Amino acid sequence: MTRLPKRNRLAIGSRAFLAAGVVLLLSGWSAPAQAAESHKPADKLAKQMSKAVTGERAWRHLAAISKATMANGGHRADGSPGYEKSAEYLTRRLTAAGYEVKRQEFSFLDYAIFSEAASVTAPEPRTLKPIIARFSISTPEGGLTAPVVVPSGKSTGCTASDYADTDVTGKIVLVDVNDCFITQKQIVAAEVGAVAVLMNVNTPNPNLNLRYRMVPPEDARIPIATLNRGEAEQLKADIAEGPVTVNVDLRGENKMTETYNLLADTPTGRADNTVVMGAHIDSVDTTPGLNDNAAASAMLLETAVQMAPHWKQVKNRVRFAWWAAEEKGISGSQYYVNQLSEEERRGTALYLNLEMIGSPNFLRQVYNGQTPTGPGPAGSDRISQLISGYFAEQRLPTVGLVLDGRSDHSPFIVAGIPAGGVNAGSDAIKTPEMAALFGGTAGEMLDPCYHQACDTLSNVNRTIFEQNGRAMAWAAGRFAVDTSDVNGK
């Protein structure tokens, strides 16, 4: 799942659950009646699919993707051997099931990293472990050395007034995440005279660090990188005691990367009413990415395999899509949507998204048809009702999640295509209320291994993995036969 450099990023995963999700939860038990309104053929295929797609079968694919990843560099970043070998596995299994697999090739703006190093040089030398933001301006080779200061006002450093009582000219500023885009933080810091920005990711795990990105890249002004909470808090404590000097060596450059999406269509069904179901196969370069997002890719593969025996029942073409470069600005699905002609866009009935479906400290989240600024495209709420209704029939509570800009549904939503799906959670913090409802650990991230090296097979919760998989298989079968209550066709 891609990480947005947006205002109060983590709060999306907490307030949105309560604002939208609890309403959906409380009304969810009436959803089975809504789901039962669909035509009998749709019910039949939906049930056949939800029965055929099991966690055990999908796990075999997940284990194979894990093996391909670990044997080829330990990640699936675009252009890497891990991505290529994983895509080859998907292609072999789809071809064996009777699909014709197409590679949709494209290139996107990427960022090559040459150095991400830092150290305290005074008063007591020690090494820091920064992670440079993608598209950051570079320091000179060998780095730059300057005093580190914190804002005198709000710690997030989003406005010049936050530095009103602090001399930051020629200095490095240490700020916290949230309240504004990281791009804004470094613009403000540059305008008041700072030469670089270090940012505290401020997660519950004091050793966890995350890579952010500049949006848009052309707004980069000065070098910026993140520190884990433990390092950042120690640095703040040192500053409170007296002057601290740090050397930062942060260097990278923009580049173009070539990659491809994988697409596989059912040979039956209306092409002018296509149901697209997708998950991203790429990972960031710091992790094997088994929950993010190999688990969803494996489940999507098993859904396609199990639909093959039922092609004669498919009335609306189903396009299974494995997106590239989701972790690089949602570039793969954006390219796909950009390439659609107006006729193809109108002929896309809806989009179903699978994102991080096996999070260990999970919430059972269903995208709720709402965007951060209002309702999604017409029909998105109906997709939400039906998927939530499936869970309710299994007596499994759900919460809603807004259709934000953090996954591959986003380009479809912007294009006016209704969308929905499931997401077990990433870097949001589980509240006590959610722990009471779903179990797990309050105060911890929904996936404590989000974008970390520990996102291996052991990080995937097999229970929610199967539950989400069966629900989305049900949805695929249902909409393969009937989308009339979503788009009128």
For residues 450 and 33, is the Cβ–Cβ distance under 8 A? no
| 483 vs 466: CA distance, rounded Å | 24
Q: Say which of 326, 327, 355, 393 is annotated catalytic.
A: 326
Buried b (16+ CB within 10 A) or exposed e, 235-270: bbebeeeeebbbbbbbbbeeeebebbbbbbbbeebe
Q: Distance from CA of residue 462 to its chain's centroid?
A: 19
- Give the DSSP H or E segment for 118: strand 101-122
Query: DSSP secondary structure string, 82-110?
Result: HHHHHHHHHHHHHHHTTPPEEEEEEEEEE
Give the DSSP H/E element, type plus range, for residue 128.
strand 126-128
- CB-CB neighbours of 146 under 10 Å: 19
Strands 245-265 and 144-149: antiparallel
Gap between the Cα atoms of 233 and 283, Å rounded: 29
328 to 26, 158, 213, 367, 443: CA distances (angstroms): 36, 24, 9, 22, 28
Known catalytic residue at 326: yes
Q: Which residues are catalytic?
A: 326
